[in-house]
Structure formats: C-alpha cells, structure tokens
C-alpha cells in the first residue's frame, strides 16, 4: 500500500542570523525537468506517489488524467508538460494534491525535496513570464539553490476554468 505524506514539514529550517526574527513564507521545493520549483506549503493538502491515470479524451497534453484517491476523483496535471520542460518521470513521480476552492487537484512532479522558509528579500520579481503563461511569481535564492516560485492556483485555474 502506498504511503502518503500530509503537509510536509521542513527537515531543517533555513539558517537564520543571530537575533533575526524568522519571517517569510514556507515553500515546498520540488524538482521538474532538472530545475527546482516551489510554491507556498499552505496550498498543499497531501503528497502521494504517482499512480496510473485514466486519460481524458480531448484534454490538453499536460492533463495526465483522473485518479481515484480514497473515493475522490482527482484531475492530475503534469507540471513538466505544462511548463514546457518535458513530461515528469511517472515511474518515480509524486503527486502534490492542491486545494482549489472545493476541488482537489493533483500536480505531478519528478521529486519532492524540502520545505524552506523564504524571506521576502530572497525573492526577485518575475519578469517576462510569457512562456510560463503567467504562473511564475518570482525567483528565490535560498541556501545555494535558485528556486522558481510558481503560482499554483493560477496553474490549476487555467485547467479548471
């Protein structure tokens, strides 16, 4: 039986300078197409291993299909296809379940990495996100990683609208 992870907790918080208050947002980091991406952990309900999907006729290529998770039908999106960096490696992928209003949507990623606190001063605003379709919120520089911050609600809204 596949295990699930609910609201991933950070293995170790980002280092904080002495006397500095911990401020910023908690960001779930994950890999897609060899790049590191992230979005706010508050959007995440659960993380499950990728499972076989039922394809939807006429759906865009980045819609993997539907899964039945404990009696709930969930649409699963391939984030790599959506971002144009290539399909996720489904045999090793994870599905991040995101709440969008009353609906639950799955977003397939290559791997889930960590949760980090990202301070506002670590984030550069997005410029010219024409290729991403307006889903990139910014670029974060944290602990030696360059993280592309995504607007998961925008990604999901484009499919469910």
Question: Of 107, 136, 91, whose CA–CA distance to 46 is shortest?
Answer: 107
Residue 40 lies in a domain: yes
φ/ψ of residue 70, rounded to 5:
50, 45
Residues 6 or more apart whose Cβ sits within 8 Å of residue 91: 50
Rounded to whole angstroms, what are the CA distances from 80 to 6, 17, 61, 112?
A: 23, 35, 11, 14
Mean per-residue pLDDT for 36-41?
94
Number of folded domains that form the chain: 1
Contact call for residues 156 and 100 (beta carbons, < 8 A): yes
CATH number of the domain bearing residue 125: 2.40.50.180
Give the pLDDT score at 23: 77
Residue 18 lies in a domain: no
Question: How does residue 95 score in pLDDT terms, banded at 50, 70 and 90?
Answer: very high
Q: 131 is in which domain, residue-wise?
A: 24-160
């Amino acid at each position: 039986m596949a295990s699930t992870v609910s609201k991933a907790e950070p293995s170790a918080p980002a280092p904080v300078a002495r006397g500095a208050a911990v401020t910023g947002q908690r960001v779930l980091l994950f890999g897609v197409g060899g790049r590191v991406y992230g979005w706010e952990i508050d959007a995440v309900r659960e993380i499950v291993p990728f499972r076989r999907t039922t394809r939807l006729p006429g759906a865009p290529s980045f819609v993997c299909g539907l899964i039945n998770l404990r009696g709930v039908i969930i649409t699963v999106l391939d984030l790599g296809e959506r971002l144009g960096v290539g399909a996720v490696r489904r045999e090793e992928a994870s599905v991040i379940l995101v709440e969008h209003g009353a609906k639950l949507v799955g977003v397939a990623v290559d791997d889930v990495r960590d949760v980090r606190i990202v301070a506002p001063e670590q984030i550069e605003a997005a410029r010219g996100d024409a290729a991403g379709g307006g889903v990139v919120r910014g670029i974060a520089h944290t602990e030696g990683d360059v993280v592309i911050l995504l607007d998961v609600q925008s990604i999901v809204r484009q499919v469910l609208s």
